[in-house]
Structure 1
Amino acid sequence: MSTQNSHAQEPKIRESWTGQTGFLLAAIGSAIGLGNIWRFPGVAYTNGGGAFLVPYLVALVAVGIPMLWLDYAVGHKFRGSPPWALRRLKAIGEFVGWFQVFVCFVILVYYGAVIAWAMQYTVYSVSQAWGDDPAGFFVGSFLQSVDGSKELSWEPVAAVAIPLALMWIFLLLVLSRGLSKGVETANKIFLPLLVVLFLIMVVRALFLPGAAEGLNAFFTPQWDSLGNPNVWLAAFAQIFYSLSVGFGIMLTYASYLKPKSNLTGTALVAGFANSSFEILAGIGVFSAIGFMAMNQGVSVSELDGLTGPILSFVTFPQIISAMPGGSLFGVLFFASLTLAGMTSLLSLLQPVSGSLQDKFGLKPTTAALVCGVPATIISLVLFGTKSGLNNLDIVDKFINEIGVVSSAIFLAVLAAVAAPRLRGLRQHLNSVSSVKVARLWEFLVGIIIPLVLAFMLFSSLVGLVSNGYDSYKPTYVLAFGWGCLAFVVIASAVLTFIPWKPRAISAETVSSILESHSDDDEPVGEVAAESSRAVSATEEGEVR
């Protein structure tokens, strides 16, 4: 690996955020996504209600923020996308970096389909097109979903494929404009708009009849649940997935920060902003659910579909149809869902685009096409068809529970054993940040977090290997579940062995290499050799 990539050079001129605010908005936009709105309320409700906030906040402090600091430290110190930054840690790190990139790629190709659903439902809300049977409409008339235990269909569904194609065209245009003019500008528009729309929706929900009963169900603590280890695992999983840590997004975003940036303070703001939005989402969602329970003459505990796509595309349409002014409420809800999804999707695209720019010296426009065109085609073929819902369900299960968790374990272990190791990364954080990181961080990131994640990974693997997944045919799960993981591994290996495109290297780059190893345990000779290879490549005319 190191032999073939010995001439890898850092780009001479690298894009950067216009300031700390632009980065912070992008980081918050990445963290606030579909999972905040449709996953957190249901997870909290089924895992102890108000008591769930205890393990949730513990997980935020013990796992979420420390992993966020790790991503920021690696990205900012080594000034590159995951393959470049992690290669600077260790040669094998490039494979880990590409693993993160392709995990992002797999997620974004199906994540876009859910955004397309939300876009279409924003329009449907005006006339309440789902009628008296939201469940039948969603699975039948809208998705035209086939039985995943019996058949696989490649027949396109126009109601999904058309908004999906339009969404991809728009997002690729944003990405092609580069970091500051594209991604940063989009987040500056989308995120405030999302907050305003969602606040209006929450306030409206609070004044619905039965809202108090819904909030009581959401916040009433079931203290005995704190003795259940599954509740703690659920809290750790929610924080981990919600903050977008450990699989290249925040690492990439941090690499575009200016040398003097307040990393730890920004991470704290982003982490607590994300959690605040999740609690706000819980308030809005359960206020509306309380209204639905009252309207049906049942308790909240008797209702089904309080999490995931069913909550958004079946339960909420039922609420919209039953409430006064429901159409406006529906437009606000699904527009918020669309905006939350788009800010997260942009963050998934950036590690892919940035890695292609670093590896092959591509311009942002070219990189957007290279990653975006295949993503659009795959997204339409796999998730814009009658089997789209089933395909999405399987891929999401495997890539999140195995791909994302494995990626985070690889990152934490690599940072713990490769120079400058966690001590050097902590020193880097403290050298540029207002909030200083204690030595406890090294223990959390190097030992506790990998152990917790390894247990989560082991539990998922045992369940999937032993029982398969849901009622899907084994061959179906093999193709779309294990198959997507195999794709990530193979694609990562292929990109690792492709030589980096030689590029001009400046004195500042050599200085950066030396500075990045200044607190390492790596022998001075190896550091000098890396700089020497860079300089000799330029002198021999191997780079332009």
Structure 2
Amino acid sequence: MTEVQPRSGAARESWTSNSGFIMAAIGSAVGLGNIWRFPGVAYESGGGAFLIPYLIALLSVGIPVLFLDYAIGHRYRGAPPLAFRRMKRKAEGMGWFQVGLLFVISVYYAVIIAWALSFFYFSFGTKWGDDPAEFFTGEYLKLPDEVGVSSELVAGVAWPLVGVWVAIVAVLAMGVAKGVEKLNVFGIPLLVIGFGALVIRSVTLPGASDGLNALFTPDWNALGDLSVWIAAYGQIFFSMSIAFGIMISYASYQRRKANMTSSGLVVGFANSSFELLAGIGVFSALGFLAHQSNIQVSELEGLTGPILSFVTFPAVISEMPGSALFGALFFGALVIAGFTSLVSIVQGVSAAVQEKFGLNRRTAAVTVGVVAAIISFALFSTTTGLYTLDTVDAFSNNVGIVFSAIVMCVLSVWVMRNIEELRLHLSAVSTFKVGKWWVFVIGLYAPIFLGIILVDKLVDLITEGYEGYPTWFVGVFGWGTLVLLVLFAIVGPLFAWKGRDDPGFRPWPELGVTQKASVKTKENQR
């Protein structure tokens, strides 16, 4: 059966090779969280002992949910709204919820890349001086002491942000093969080489062994702490770009007989390997900083998040020989890792808009890019942008993405009941066959454990608030973000389809999926 064409008559884009898809998927998964989140989470959650729940989380939820994304995208060949609509028309709203997540994340993620670009420049001459904390929050971001909303743009953030959005639109306008794939085929090896050189330099510094001992010395008692297991599942979940539409979109561009599950295993383990590499590099450098400061690693502050990257690491760079090269490698790695991830995020939004409204890829890319850039400037490149970014990120990641995963699993197994069809599809196109265990994981294990994570986070946010920020501020930018995502899910399906809503669409039954499953898919279209 030939693939149904969009109404415009143009063939759907595809990756030029399976390796190109794998590179793009790794580029999406390996992002800022691998570098600034994993090392700190591991250190605070049992050190070397944390690797046990981390590996279990990877195998029991991370890779299975990645397979689900791949199955939906590859079988139904569309961005999230179209893919879910083809599964069952009433499920389109779930796709728009995921597009909302992608859009929200893109508008603040771009700002972090702009920070990294600035600090790449600042690293030549260590322009942050003797007090990186004061430089980052004061001289650079001009952050006020009081949490609030400001309309005052920060020029040092706004100008590199322009460059980020221009580059994003340019890559997406070139298309999947000529733009996204080529970017990752070039960028990911460059990232690995550059960051690998940084790690090699870090482990040779005085005090590096102290940092590695602090990271990897196991606290076996931590394995009895539920919060450690929640942290492990959370880290796997947030670092693999799963359950919020990216991998559905990327898988939809795979060719008919692509090896989906084997690709998923490569992507999953490559992502975790890079996290481990990042942990070695970061804590070797932190051990050096502690050695130079004549304190213990445990006495250092700012071991995760933006503070690690833009305060603690500049302090490390200032102390070491060849600081300019070390700084360029570190912030260059942040830029590449962040940019390849941002491309995948915006691609998911652009593809959805393109398919829904019948636009060509350039028009969709420019439209999405301009709207997202305006919001980036208005909310996140101002003097209070860090407060807003921190709040929106916490709610969209810790609540929005987890909720999306739970609903996607429940819909596939218990509502649309097409999980067996998806399992057969994956097995038909892949060398690594998916057994019945996958249905159990997606239908029960993943929703239950993710439900525990979600409830735990919601209870904490409701009872404790967030970071001591004013209630009104958290209400607007935290809970308001979740309301916005729900509006995406409600309003998105209300617009008429002008693009790839092809009623004659059929999945690929000749790949080994049973006739019964194919008939069920046909019924779901009604």
Give your verdict on TM over 0.5.
yes
- 2:229 and 2:30 map into 1 onto residues whose CA distance is 22
1:184 to 159, 175, 181: 181
Aligned to 1:168: 165
The alpha-carbon distance between structure 1 residues 524 and 131, as it changes in their structure 2 partners (threshold 3 A), is: closer
User: Are the counterparts in 1 of residues 69 and 242 from structure 2 also a CA contact under 8 Å?
Assistant: yes
The letter for the 2-side match of 1:391 is T
Aligned to 2:117: 119
- 1:504 and 1:62 map into 2 onto residues whose CA distance is 35
- 1:421 and 1:504 map into 2 onto residues whose CA distance is 20
User: Are the counterparts in 1 of residues 429 and 511 from structure 2 also a CA contact under 8 Å?
Assistant: no
What's the CA shift string for 1:301-323, capped at 9, x where partnerless? 11111111111111111111111
- By how many angstroms is 1:513 displaced? 7.5
User: Is residue 512 of structure 2 the alignment partner of residue 512 of structure 1?
Assistant: no
- Normalised by the size of structure 1, how large is the TM-score? 0.92
Aligned to 2:297: 300
Aligned to 1:490: 487
What's the CA shift string for 1:3-40, capped at 9, x where partnerless? xxxxx979762111011011000000000000000000
2:274 to 271, 274, 277: 277
Aligned to 2:3: none
Secondary structure of 1:315's aligned partner: helix
- By how many angstroms is 1:528 displaced? 6.7
User: Are the counterparts in 2 of residues 10 and 505 from structure 1 also a CA contact under 8 Å?
Assistant: no
Aligned to 1:91: 89
User: Are the counterparts in 2 of residues 265 and 433 from structure 1 also a CA contact under 8 Å?
Assistant: yes
1:527 to 500, 522, 525: 522
The alpha-carbon distance between structure 1 residues 395 and 516, as it changes in their structure 2 partners (threshold 3 A), is: farther
- 1:13 and 1:512 map into 2 onto residues whose CA distance is 16
The alpha-carbon distance between structure 1 residues 517 and 477, as it changes in their structure 2 partners (threshold 3 A), is: farther
**Which stretches in structure 1 are left out of the alignment for 5+ residues?**
1-7, 534-544
User: Is residue 18 of structure 2 the alignment partner of residue 20 of structure 1?
Assistant: yes
Aligned to 1:209: 206
What's the CA shift string for 1:434-453, capped at 9, x where partnerless? 11112111101111101111
Secondary structure of 1:92's aligned partner: helix
Aligned to 2:422: 425
User: Are the counterparts in 2 of residues 37 and 278 from structure 1 also a CA contact under 8 Å?
Assistant: yes
The alpha-carbon distance between structure 1 residues 251 and 89, as it changes in their structure 2 partners (threshold 3 A), is: same
User: Are the counterparts in 2 of residues 89 and 420 from structure 1 also a CA contact under 8 Å?
Assistant: no
Secondary structure of 1:155's aligned partner: coil
What's the CA shift string for 1:256-293, capped at 9, x where partnerless? 00010101100000000000000000000011000011
The letter for the 2-side match of 1:165 is V
- 1:329 and 1:224 map into 2 onto residues whose CA distance is 37
Secondary structure of 1:472's aligned partner: coil
What's the CA shift string for 1:221-280, capped at 9, x where partnerless? 111111111111100000000001111001110010001010110000000000000000
When the two chains are superposed, the root-mean-square deviation of aligned CA atoms in Å is 2.1
User: Is residue 382 of structure 2 the alignment partner of residue 391 of structure 1?
Assistant: no
- Normalised by the size of structure 2, how large is the TM-score? 0.95
- 1:281 and 1:525 map into 2 onto residues whose CA distance is 46
What's the CA shift string for 1:34-59, capped at 9, x where partnerless? 00000000000111111110000000
User: Are the counterparts in 2 of residues 420 and 520 from structure 1 also a CA contact under 8 Å?
Assistant: no
- 1:25 and 1:196 map into 2 onto residues whose CA distance is 15
The letter for the 2-side match of 1:45 is Y
- 1:459 and 1:222 map into 2 onto residues whose CA distance is 23
- 2:436 and 2:390 map into 1 onto residues whose CA distance is 40
Superposed, 1:144-293 pairs within 5 Å as: 144-149=142-147, 151-293=148-290
**Which stretches in structure 2 are left out of the alignment for 5+ residues?**
1-5
User: Are the counterparts in 2 of residues 148 and 472 from structure 1 also a CA contact under 8 Å?
Assistant: no
User: Are the counterparts in 2 of residues 517 and 527 from structure 1 also a CA contact under 8 Å?
Assistant: no
- 1:201 and 1:236 map into 2 onto residues whose CA distance is 28
1:140 to 138, 141, 144: 138
User: Are the counterparts in 2 of residues 148 and 473 from structure 1 also a CA contact under 8 Å?
Assistant: no
- By how many angstroms is 1:458 displaced? 1.2
The letter for the 1-side match of 2:352 is S
Aligned to 1:376: 373
The alpha-carbon distance between structure 1 residues 427 and 473, as it changes in their structure 2 partners (threshold 3 A), is: same
Aligned to 1:339: 336
What's the CA shift string for 1:445-491, capped at 9, x where partnerless? 11110111111111111221222212211111111111122112113
The alpha-carbon distance between structure 1 residues 464 and 148, as it changes in their structure 2 partners (threshold 3 A), is: farther
- By how many angstroms is 1:522 displaced? 7.4
User: Are the counterparts in 1 of residues 411 and 417 from structure 2 also a CA contact under 8 Å?
Assistant: no
The alpha-carbon distance between structure 1 residues 514 and 323, as it changes in their structure 2 partners (threshold 3 A), is: closer
The letter for the 2-side match of 1:316 is F
1:324 to 309, 321, 329: 321
User: Are the counterparts in 2 of residues 293 and 300 from structure 1 also a CA contact under 8 Å?
Assistant: yes
Corresponding residue pairs, total? 521
User: Are the counterparts in 2 of residues 75 and 253 from structure 1 also a CA contact under 8 Å?
Assistant: yes
Aligned to 1:128: 126
User: Are the counterparts in 1 of residues 428 and 511 from structure 2 also a CA contact under 8 Å?
Assistant: no
Aligned to 2:77: 79
The letter for the 1-side match of 2:297 is V
The alpha-carbon distance between structure 1 residues 503 and 489, as it changes in their structure 2 partners (threshold 3 A), is: closer
Identity value in percent: 51
